Amino acid sequence: MSDEETNAYELLEIKLEATEQEIRTAYRQRSLKVHPDRNPNNPDAARKFHELTQAYELLSDPLRRLALDAKLRLKQARNERYKHYDLKRKNMVDELEERERSLKKARVNKQKEEAARWEETEKIKDEGRRLREEKLKEMEKREQEANQAAKEEDEDDTPTLQATDTTVRVKYTISEHPSLTTAASLASLFAPFGAIDVDTVIVSLKPPKKAPHKPAKHGTALIPFKRIGDAFAAVCATRRPERGLAGIEVGWIGGVEPEILGWLRKKGHLGPPGSGISSDPQVQRPEEKAPPPQTQTRTSSSNEFSSFPSSMPDFSKPPAEPSKVGELDYESLTLMRMRQAERARLEREILEQEANES
Q: What is the pLDDT of residues 202-225, one digit of tens each?
A: 888 877 666 667 777 788 888 899
Q: How confident is the model at residue 336 (pLDDT cuts 50, 70, 90)?
A: low
The mean-pLDDT minimum among 16-20, 37-41, 162-166, 221-225 falls in 162-166
Whole-Å CA distances, 19 to 9, 49, 70 = 12, 21, 16
CA-CA distance, 143 to 149, in Å (whole number)?
10
Could you give the 3-state DSSP secondary structure of residue 74?
helix
pLDDT, mean of residues 150-155: 68
* Domain boundaries 158-357, CATH class: alpha beta
Output the CATH code of domain 3-84: 1.10.287.110
Strand order in the sheet with 167-173: 202-206, 218-224, 167-173, 249-252
pLDDT, mean of residues 159-166: 78
**pLDDT greater than 70 at residue 190:** yes
Answer whether 3-84 and 158-357 agree in fold: no
The per-residue pLDDT for range 41-90, each reduced to its tens digit, is 888 888 889 999 999 999 899 999 899 889 988 888 887 777 776 667 77
CA-CA distance, 236 to 243, in Å (whole number)?
10
Closest C-alpha to 351, from 203, 209, 228, 208: 203
Q: What does the mean pLDDT of the chain come to?
A: 77
Closest C-alpha to 33, from 16, 59, 11, 14: 11
Query: Which residues partner with 307 through β-bridges?
Result: none
Closest C-alpha to 338, from 190, 160, 162, 169: 162
The per-residue pLDDT for range 290-327, each reduced to its tens digit, is 444 433 334 334 444 445 555 454 444 444 444 444 33
pTM above 0.75, yes or no: no
CA-CA distance, 165 to 155, in Å (whole number)?
19
Our measurement of the distance from residue 349's CA atom to the centroid of its chain's CA atoms, rounded to an integer in Å, reads 16
Could you give the 3-state DSSP secondary structure of residue 201?
coil
CA angle at 89 for the pair 85 and 93, rounded to the nearest 5°:
110
H or E segment to which residue 105 belongs: helix 87-153
Q: How confident is the model at residue 155 (pLDDT cuts 50, 70, 90)?
A: low
81 secondary structure, DSSP code = H
51 secondary structure, DSSP code = H
Sorted by where each begins, the domain ranges of the chain are 3-84, 91-155, 158-357
CA-CA distance, 38 to 222, in Å (whole number)?
89
Q: Is 165 exposed, middle or buried (0-12, 13-18, 19+ CB in 10 A)?
A: buried
H or E segment to which residue 349 belongs: helix 340-357
